[in-house]
């Protein structure tokens, strides 16, 4: 992470980056670029399934370094868009497409993105947030208060578990 100050224990100081709703010109493109790098490039997810019909109506969040370099992204689905992912409960949002660039991993960016999505969910009156976690990331989400439920399943050829956190 050249040029960015590191804080204690590998965490970037909050002043070194910001997490915001992707509303500025170019923010959505930056979100999609991070997803392409992480999911398509690193994990081999086919590009035609990485971007979906939910993207246009989703709330996207973006973490950017002070110099404008994108560090990570995530999205929140609610209502009908989330229904199939959360068992049909309209009070539950769906957190997804959380991706942090290789250079920013372990610096607190992922947790900051999750907190921003949870704040947006609370502001929309949602009672809980569900997500489908890659099994290697279960401990990360557990540290943030998510609880796994249901059996393991494959998504894009990778093992996942459903998780939920009450807000």
Q: How far apart are CA 61 and CA 102, in angstroms?
A: 18
Q: How far apart are CA 41 and CA 118, in angstroms?
A: 27
Distance of CA 122 to the CA centre of its chain: 16
Measure the CA dihedral 143/35/95/134, to 10°: -50
Looking at the whole model, is its pTM more than 0.85?
yes
Exposed/middle/buried for 28, CB within 10 Å: 0-12, 13-18, 19+?
Answer: middle
Predicted confidence (pLDDT) per residue in 111-137, tens digit: 999 999 999 999 999 999 999 999 999
CA distances from 95 to 5, 32, 85, 107, 149 (A): 29, 16, 10, 20, 15
Q: How far apart are CA 129 and CA 142, in angstroms?
A: 13
Tokens linked to 167: 């807000």
Q: In what order do the strands lie in the sheet with 70-77?
A: 17-21, 59-65, 70-77, 92-100, 128-134, 158-166, 147-155
Q: How far apart are CA 82 and CA 92, in angstroms?
A: 8
CB neighbour list of residue 64: distance below 8 Å, 6 or more residues apart: 17, 18, 20, 30, 70, 71
Section 130-156 average pLDDT: 95
Which pLDDT score, from 0 to 100, does residue 84 have? 84
Tokens linked to 152: 């393991």
**H or E element: which one contains 99?**
strand 92-100
Predicted confidence (pLDDT) per residue in 24-47, tens digit: 889 999 999 999 999 999 999 999
Could you tell me the pLDDT band of residue 1, with boundaries at 50, 70 and 90? Answer: very low
């Amino acid at each position: 992470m050249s040029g960015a100050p590191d804080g204690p224990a590998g965490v970037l100081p909050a002043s070194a980056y910001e997490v915001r709703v992707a509303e500025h010109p170019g923010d959505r493109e930056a979100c999609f670029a991070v997803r392409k790098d992480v999911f398509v490039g690193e994990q081999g997810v086919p590009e035609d399934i990485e971007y979906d019909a939910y993207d246009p109506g989703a709330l996207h969040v973006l973490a950017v370094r002070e110099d404008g370099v994108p560090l990570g992204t995530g999205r929140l689905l609610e209502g009908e868009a989330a229904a199939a992912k959360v068992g049909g409960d309209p009070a539950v949002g769906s957190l997804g497409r959380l991706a942090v660039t290789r250079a920013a991993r372990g610096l607190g960016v992922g947790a900051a993105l999750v907190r921003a999505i949870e704040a947006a969910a609370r502001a929309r009156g949602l009672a809980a947030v569900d997500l489908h976690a890659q099994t290697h990331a279960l401990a990360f989400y557990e540290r943030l208060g998510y609880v796994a439920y249901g059996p393991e399943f494959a998504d894009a050829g990778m093992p996942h578990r459903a998780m939920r956190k009450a807000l």
